[in-house]
Structures are given as structure tokens and as C-alpha cells.
Amino acid sequence: MAGLPPLPNLLAFEAVARRRSFALAAAELHLTASAVSHQVARLEAHLAVRLFERSAHGVRLSTAGEQYLARIGGALAAIGTATDDLRQGMSNSLYVHCSPTLASLWLMPRIRAFAQACPEISLNLSAAHVHSDFGLGQADLDIRYGVPRWGDLVVEPIFEERILPLASPAFVRERRLRRIDQLLEVPLIQSNVSVVQWSDWLRTWSNLRAPERYSLRFDRAHMSLDAATQGLGVALESATMAAGHIADGRLQPVFGLDKAVVVKAHFLVYPARHAQRPPVEAFLAWMHGEAARVAA
């Protein structure tokens, strides 16, 4: 249809409108923020209408933008659902979207086992903090990290994790770390996205208050762990995610495995209808089997 704008322009507009952010929309679409901005600008030029009001405080839909989104949102969702339903007929494909830390530290070392257990399944794996939009048919299932507030989706916890202070053996030795109060005398590494912060751990195991300033801050757990292995401080991370670091002696629990805050923070998330697909069913069973082995 000659009058229709290019689909990439529409997808960029819908993502920015939903996320209220060019940066978040870019991460979801696997583009740069500049590319998304250009896509939206092309759509506005095509329509000869300003769709967003931009300011120093962010971006919001204009009146025309709100009206346009109301009309095209359902159409884009219908396209996504049709695509998803068609792809479900391809019995050997599986699209999994995963949080970055679990993907790199837990899932990738086990991919060989999954490939051997299910050689008939073609696995497509992507990793990002931004969740998949099931309405657009982006994934069969998500492996998400955080507090589960995900509407009418099926949410299954994978395992319990022990969040505890970790440091290199040399760091523990040199700083003679034996007591919790000594933590306030050494560099602490802050993981910005962790569901358990230093204030939570200190409140559980002491009467100490968390420091107002940290020597290092990261938005990826694997970077916090890497910093700790380099002797840059004490990280507060999951013993499950750090299992490889602990097993080969790069890190150790500073006060033992018992001094931990136990949480369920990684979840398998998917629409109920997706569980009817044999590849999804097989992956779910395999994941829970691997998690049970970790617990054992």
C-alpha cells in the first residue's frame, strides 16, 4: 500500500511511545538512540505532524502522537501475534531472551548440554536488560532478573540464590577480613541493578549502615565480579552466578556461605500459550532440571 509509512519507522515510534525514552526504545530494537531518532523524524516528516514533545525532562507524546498510537498500536500488535503464530509452526526453532549475567555466567557454560539433550532444536539466544515484548513476537520466552511484576504472563522462579560478600583470596588475606565491621574499612563494590544491596545485607547481618559512597559501581554483575577478582574490593553478588569464580579460586565468600541473603531473582517468563510449543516445553524442562542440579 503506497500510502503506508515504512514499517521500521512505525516500530521506532511505537517503541519510543511505549518506553517514553529513545534510549530504552533503542535497546529494545537493538539500534542506537540516534538511529531510532532518525526513524521517528522520518515518520514525522512523512506524516507532516509532530508526534513527540521533546524537552530536557524527556519525551512525551503530542496530542497527535497519542491519537496515532491509539490507531496503530493494535495493528502492530496484530502483526506481531500473526508472526508469532506463524513461527510457532516452525517446530524446531526456539527464541530465548535472557538477562546478561545469567546468559554469560550460567547459561552459556551449559549450552553444550542443552544442544546434546535437544539436538533437533535450533536455539536463538539474545541477552539484554530490556525485556522482550511478547506482543511483537520477539521471543518464545524470557529469562528475567528482578522483582516479578509482569502482569498476566507465566512466571516461574529458576532457583534460590545466596547473595553474599565475595573477594579474592589475596584481598581477604591482605586486609585480614574476619569481622563484618571491617567491611566499612575496605573498598566496597556496588552492583546498581542487584535486587539485594549492601544496605540490605548489612541490615540482615549487622547493625551497620551502608556507606554513602562506593569505590566502584557497575550495572552488570559480571563486571562487579571481575573487579573483585582483580582485588579492587568486596563485591556483593550471587554465589550461583559466581560459582565458576569460586570453584577455580578467583573469589571466595568473605564470611562463609552462611552469611547470605537468600532470594529468588531469576525467572522464566512467557505467555501461557507458548508452553504448548514442544521446543518451549523441552527448554523449560531442561532449565528446571539444571536448576535442580545446582540446588543439589
* Class at the top of the CATH hierarchy for domain 161-263: alpha beta
Fold designation for 89-159+265-295: D-Maltodextrin-Binding Protein; domain 2 (3.40.190)
pLDDT band at 82, cuts 50/70/90? low
Residues of the chain with CATH 3.40.190.10: 89-159+265-295, 161-263
- Asked: is 7-86 a CATH 1.10.10.10 domain? The reply is yes
Q: Helices (DSSP H) in 89-214: which residue ranges?
A: 100-102, 111-117, 169-175, 198-205
pLDDT given for residue 88 in this prediction:
55
pTM, two decimal places: 0.69
pLDDT tens per residue, range 99-155: 999 999 999 999 999 999 999 998 989 888 888 878 766 789 999 999 898 888 999
pLDDT tens per residue, range 191-230: 998 999 999 999 999 999 999 889 899 988 999 999 999 9
Is the pLDDT score of 83 beyond 70? no
Q: How far apart are CA 168 and CA 103, in angstroms?
A: 23
Q: How far apart are CA 240 and CA 259, in angstroms?
A: 14
Is the pLDDT score of 2 beyond 70? no
Residues of the chain with CATH 1.10.10.10: 7-86
Q: How far apart are CA 236 and CA 166, in angstroms?
A: 6
CA distance readout (Å), 88 to 75, 84, 271, 280: 20, 6, 13, 10
